[in-house]
Amino acid sequence: MKTPYVLVFVFALCAAPAMAHHSRANYDSNQPIEFKGTVTRLEWKNPHVYVYLERIGPDGKKEEWMAELGSIQNLKQIGISETDLKTGDVGTISAIRDRDPNKHLLMWRNFTKADGTRLGRAPGARGTGDTAELTAQRGPGSKDFTGVWGVARGGGGRGNLERYPLTEKGKVSLETYRKEGEEGDPILNCEKHGVPRTIYAAYALEIKREPNVVHLDWEYNEVHRPVYLNQKTHPADGPRTHQGHSFGWFEGETLVVDTANFAPQKWGNGIGLDSSDQKRVVERYTLEDGGHAMRVEYTVTDPVYLSKPVTEVVRFQERPGYVVSEWKCDVAASRKHLLK
């Protein structure tokens, strides 16, 4: 009898590992662990679901372990719901350990219940949403950028800040990041991404059109960016926000988006690099592969932190059938992997 598998496609873990809301560097892939345990509680929250398990340790004493999963969207999209695990369920977990041997913290790979049902990724599986499967599902392709998109596998977008042309203030920002590490990231407090981090964020991007507005809506932390097609300047007295003010126009079949009026933001230019109110970002959206893929080139100008403009490219792939849902970020769940 074949084991029933539920395959997990996780945007943050499979499609774009480096773009997830936090690094997986605290987990050691060379420290796999597998043990039989009992589910003691479940925390079904974004950006990470956590499952707690109890086992009998090598010394014969009870131990509680905390296993980190993906987001609710990661799990619900492929049919895993909060009711699939409950307190008292017994099964075998396969995971990797935190690098700190004193932490009973795991990155979940899969969990095989007593009835043989495997929740998680089957060994060697790449997950749904891979190029071959998406190709098989695709219809005619987008003609006007509308639809749901995800960063393609290896799609890039996040540059190597160590190689960026930095001002002295930019160098100080990056050095501060080296000292405080991931814990300093404001999105761990559920703060919304700013531009350009929004552009290459993991999870889905849904694009909608009105006659004079293009709506760029990111699933992660529910970031909404309206792009006004009937404007040609940024309002001089307009509000300053982390998303800024955007207007756009078409150059042939390329949508060009000009964004300014930013508020200063910690790590607003990328992970570890702050941004100022002088920042300006210009994006160029171009459909490829018959509307099944999209190339986004963006250029960041910020004279306070960058000694010259920086240009990056990120590639997206359509996500047919993907349904964007509410995020509802929970600060405690976001920071839990740092505290335990």
For residue 33, give the amino acid letter.
I
Strand partners, 112: 92, 118
Domain ranges of the chain: 5-130, 139-318
Cα separation of 223 and 241, whole Å? 12
Q: Using alpha carbons, select from 192, 214, 194, 218 the residue that is nearest to residue 205.
A: 218
DSSP tag of 166: B
The pLDDT tens digits for 38-49 are 999 998 888 888
139-318 adopts what CATH topology? Lipocalin (2.40.128)
Cα separation of 24 and 329, whole Å? 19
Backbone torsions φ then ψ of 30, nearest 5 degrees: -85, 5
Output 18-25 pairs: Cβ under 8 A, ≥24 positions apart: 18/158, 19/151, 19/157, 19/158, 19/200, 19/201, 19/202, 20/202, 21/47, 21/185, 21/187, 21/188, 21/202, 21/220, 21/334, 22/182, 22/185, 22/188, 22/334, 22/337, 23/182, 24/107, 25/182
- At 15 the three-state DSSP class reads helix
CB 65 within 8 A of CB 53: yes
Per-residue tokens: 6: 């539920």
Q: Using alpha carbons, select from 82, 79, 265 the residue that is nearest to residue 185.
A: 265
CATH C-level class of 5-130:
mainly beta
The pLDDT mean for the chain works out to: 84
Which segment, 101-105, 153-157, 198-202, 299-303, is predicted with the most confidence on average?
299-303
Cα separation of 24 and 274, whole Å? 22
Q: Flag whether pLDDT at 255 surpasses 50.
A: yes
CB 223 within 8 A of CB 198: yes
- The strand ranges marked E within the chain are 5-6, 27-43, 50-56, 62-68, 90-98, 105-113, 118-120, 147-156, 205-209, 213-218, 223-228, 245-251, 254-260, 265-270, 273-275, 280-288, 293-301, 310-318
User: In the structure, what pLDDT confidence band is assigned to residue 147 with cuts at 50, 70 and 90?
Assistant: very high
Q: 17-26, 143-152, 179-188: lowest mean pLDDT where?
A: 17-26
pLDDT at position 6: 33
The pLDDT tens digits for 279-309 are 999 999 999 999 999 999 999 999 999 999 9
Per-residue tokens: 316: 């997206």
Q: Flag whether pLDDT at 137 surpasses 50.
A: yes
Which segment, 38-42, 260-264, 331-335, is predicted with the most confidence on average?
260-264
The pLDDT tens digits for 187-196 are 888 888 899 9
- Non-local (6+) Cβ contacts of 264 within 8 A are 274, 275, 276, 277
Question: Which is more confident, 22 or 150?
Answer: 150
